[in-house]
Structure 1
Amino acid sequence: MSIKFRLTLMNFLQFFIWGSWLISLNVYLDKSLHFTGGQIGSIYATMGIASLFMPAIMGIIADKWINTERVFGICHIISGFLLYKATTVTDYESVYLYMLLNTMFYMPTIALNNTVSYEVLEQKQLTAVKDFPPIRVWGTVGFIIAMWMVDLLGLTNSALQLYISAGASLLLGVYAFTMPKCTPKQSKEKRTIVSMLGLDAFVLFRQQKMLVFFVFAMFLGAALQITNTFGGAFLTDFGSQPQYANSFAVQHPSILISISQISETLFILAIPFFLQRFGIKKVMLMSIVAWVLRFGLFALGDPGTGLPLLILSMIVYGMAFDFFNISGSLFVEKETSIKIRASAQGLFMVMTNGIGAYLGGVISGWIVDYFTVNGAKDWQSIWLSFAAYALVLGIIFPVVFRYRHTPAAGKIGKAKAVDITPH
């Protein structure tokens, strides 16, 4: 069995687990458990809370003490058990607790998945920029298949979606232990206090370009969390209007939303060309513009004559997500020293799926509640508010992010090692 196939299966399961509930859980929380917008937002914000510290901690453990593939597997086994426990409760406090604990162990696996993939490819003398995107695209395929499975089995409004995710998580946890060994990097250099505490990656904030990059990654992470939290509920809400009650968008919201992930598969494959041709600055600006379109088209669309606008919104999502998430991970990979690789990926997760996701989940919940009157949500105002947010980011980003791109085959600008000694 080739290593590319093995990494493909690993990436497939990694995102199949997430796709089983990320897009559809909000429907279950809204329609079955009758949670408020603020409560739903806070449950989705658990991903942000967990990502504030857990990816960094697990990255440190993988960098310093335990093989990365083992840390990855242990996290998935624990996460699968906690997902199962979340199916046994229905009150807000208990659901919140189990989802928080689950995300504390799932969220680090996203960065660890990247780290294992990069290191194994390097062991086999392959390159991350060229060989990882075609592997990672199968993660998106796994996400899509999970969404379709949940939708077609009628589990969008059921806790059973978490059973599927739990089973896949346990399977991947076991499979991870069969992957090639990714051992901690041993060094004969004298280790500083900063190094021993695993705070090496925070030195990246000394570089202005990296500081600005991480801050805007945080803002874009908030934008991503908004559609994850309320995309499904937005579509199913049209069911309260007789003319839309039997429409495809209302009956199969997850399948419609899956167009977003299908779009991802195309844009992932385009990443090497765009990064090498335009550089990270222009690629991230393209992502921001795509977010403006994503939210704006949601505001104007509906399941009837406005369905093409909803579909177009799903299509631009591929660029919005990939051009900051996948490209950003590759940028961090090339701009950091091998000594802090896992920690740096963990820091990227902290900024995007940590602080960004927390802010996106909580603030979007507030905005949804603000535009809700007598149980009816003014979705057009909600989505236009988010579009305005993305537009402001698009205006500021190219002014403050100073990065000179040098086109070169297989490189993202000029990669260089980062000085990790304290000043």
Structure 2
Amino acid sequence: MSLRAESPARLDPVVRVKLSAMMFLEFFVWGAWFVTLGTYLAQELGASGSQISLAFLTQSLGAILAPLVVGLVADRYFAAQKVFGVLHLVAAVMMFLAGQAGSFGPFFGAALVYMIVFMPTLGLVNSISFNQLRDPEKQFPAIRVFGTLGWIVAGLIIGWFGWEQGGSLELTFLMAAVGSALLGVFAFFLPDTPPRGRDRGGSIGQLLGLDALGLLKSRSYLTFFISSVLICIPLAFYYNFTNLYLNESGVQAAAAYQSLGQMSEALFLLAMPFLLRRLGFKKTLLVGMLAWALRYVLFGFGDTGSMFWMILIGLVLHGICYDFFFVAGQIYTDKYAPSHVRSSAQGLISMATYGLGLLIGSLISGPIVDAYVTEGGHAWTSIWLIPAGLAVVVSIFFFLFFREEVPVEAATADRTPTPV
């Protein structure tokens, strides 16, 4: 038998296909409606900047609850893939209702329930994947890249059919609902990911998955956690208002152009194993944060004329912005956390980023955008320089206080996948 066949890093092809399809649908569903949400609310429902931020804030509320859902259910009592499936079936119903809402109030209610059930799936999709991987640092990027492809396909579909210019963005919610329903059914055919913390005590904190908070006793992980919260404050400006910015600037098929960022993300994902080996976690994470600052400066001074190249580079930088911080952070978390709290730890870092950070960012970004309303739209240069400055400050904090380390228990933990 060849050495290649005996390699412990080899992943069963059927499992690889299932995990890749799961990632594709997970991010297709999210990208199907989330990218154009700000434009939809402003143009179709007449929402203000503060209302748009309030809608995006539902994501943060869902992310804050995610560690509780994942820690209570997936780490303790039920297989992660079954919890994942049920949550997506409920999400499909709420996405359909959101698309039928004719005013901001009913839309907000449907979106809030949707995010409460969807955000825990971001931690679960990682847990299901990591449970099958013996060498996540090398294997995970090749699986995660299909999530990026799913987001790209969603944006290209929106651009192809011209839903932004045609005032038909309500169809994005129907597309997301169908995708979520398919993923909900498919989840029950995914590799088994049984609860691993079932026999590790029953205190209230453990039942809620709060034992993952023990990771914060380390200065290294605490610095990473705080930085994850802080960097998502400027990130909220991008998620909430980039599509509106592009449409106000006169960019045709803005959602399709935004897919350039996901194409870049796919390329950097494939290079992630090499980059992590060469740079280490600290330098990789730092480059990701600094890329946010550069992106906002490019947005601030770009236009649809001779400076359109600046907007394009800003969009393409998404690969560095996302992969170098978020994906590298997920791998770092999986490598750092003991095996019995890995699902909780993934939920914890989702809470830090999509929860606390974006919550604060949404509360800040909406009023700032409203403060720079002009007769023709918004003073985008002034708006974008604010998150650029915030990203620089966070980068300096991270550089000064983060020390790269991995506990012995986590570093030597068994990586044998659960049999399918």
- Normalising by structure 2, we get a TM-score of 0.91
Structure 2 residue aligned with 1:292: 293
Asked if structure 2 preserves the Cα contact closer than 8 Å seen for 1:55 and 1:107, the reply is no
Structure 1 residue aligned with 2:314: 313
Letter in 2 for 1:381: S
Equivalent position to 2:119, from 107, 119, 125 = 107
Greater mean deviation of Cα atoms: 355-364 or 79-88: 355-364
Once residues 146 and 334 of structure 1 are traced to their aligned partners in structure 2, the CA distance between those partners, rounded to angstroms, is 31
Equivalent position to 1:128, from 136, 139, 142 = 136
Say whether 1:147 aligns with 2:148.
no
Say whether 1:349 aligns with 2:342.
no
Pick closer, same or farther for the CA change 1:187–1:28 going to 2, 3 Å.
Answer: closer
Which 5+ residue runs of structure 1 have no aligned equivalent?
Answer: 240-249, 405-412, 419-423
Pick closer, same or farther for the CA change 1:351–1:190 going to 2, 3 Å.
Answer: closer
Number of aligned residues: 396
Once residues 251 and 278 of structure 1 are traced to their aligned partners in structure 2, the CA distance between those partners, rounded to angstroms, is 38
Pick closer, same or farther for the CA change 1:370–1:332 going to 2, 3 Å.
Answer: same
Pick closer, same or farther for the CA change 1:188–1:58 going to 2, 3 Å.
Answer: closer
Equivalent position to 2:31, from 10, 19, 22 = 19
1:113-262 correspondence runs (5 A): 113-121=125-133, 126-156=134-164, 157=167, 158-185=169-196, 191-239=202-250, 250-262=251-263
Letter in 2 for 1:101: V
Once residues 206 and 34 of structure 1 are traced to their aligned partners in structure 2, the CA distance between those partners, rounded to angstroms, is 46
Pick closer, same or farther for the CA change 1:186–1:397 going to 2, 3 Å.
Answer: closer
Pick closer, same or farther for the CA change 1:380–1:188 going to 2, 3 Å.
Answer: closer
Shift, 1:414, TM fit: 5.8
Asked if structure 1 preserves the Cα contact closer than 8 Å seen for 2:76 and 2:198, the reply is no
Structure 2 residue aligned with 1:389: 390
Greater mean deviation of Cα atoms: 181-190 or 146-155: 181-190
Letter in 2 for 1:212: T
Shift, 1:374, TM fit: 4.6
Asked if structure 2 preserves the Cα contact closer than 8 Å seen for 1:60 and 1:342, the reply is no
Letter in 1 for 2:183: L
Superposed CA deviations along residues 162-209 of structure 1, whole A, max 9, x for unmatched, are 000000000000000011211112665555553244321011111111
Shift, 1:223, TM fit: 2.9
- Normalising by structure 1, we get a TM-score of 0.90
What percent identity do the matched residue pairs reach? Answer: 34
Once residues 145 and 293 of structure 2 are traced to their aligned partners in structure 1, the CA distance between those partners, rounded to angstroms, is 24
Greater mean deviation of Cα atoms: 106-115 or 148-157: 148-157
Structure 1 residue aligned with 2:71: 59
Structure 2 residue aligned with 1:243: none
Greater mean deviation of Cα atoms: 318-327 or 265-274: 265-274
Which 5+ residue runs of structure 2 have no aligned equivalent?
Answer: 1-12, 412-420
Structure 1 residue aligned with 2:106: 94
Structure 1 residue aligned with 2:10: none
Shift, 1:120, TM fit: 2.4
Shift, 1:373, TM fit: 3.7
Letter in 1 for 2:136: A
Shift, 1:72, TM fit: 0.5
Once residues 82 and 189 of structure 1 are traced to their aligned partners in structure 2, the CA distance between those partners, rounded to angstroms, is 35
Shift, 1:269, TM fit: 1.4
Once residues 129 and 140 of structure 2 are traced to their aligned partners in structure 1, the CA distance between those partners, rounded to angstroms, is 7
1:23-62 correspondence runs (5 A): 23-62=35-74
Once residues 142 and 404 of structure 2 are traced to their aligned partners in structure 1, the CA distance between those partners, rounded to angstroms, is 27
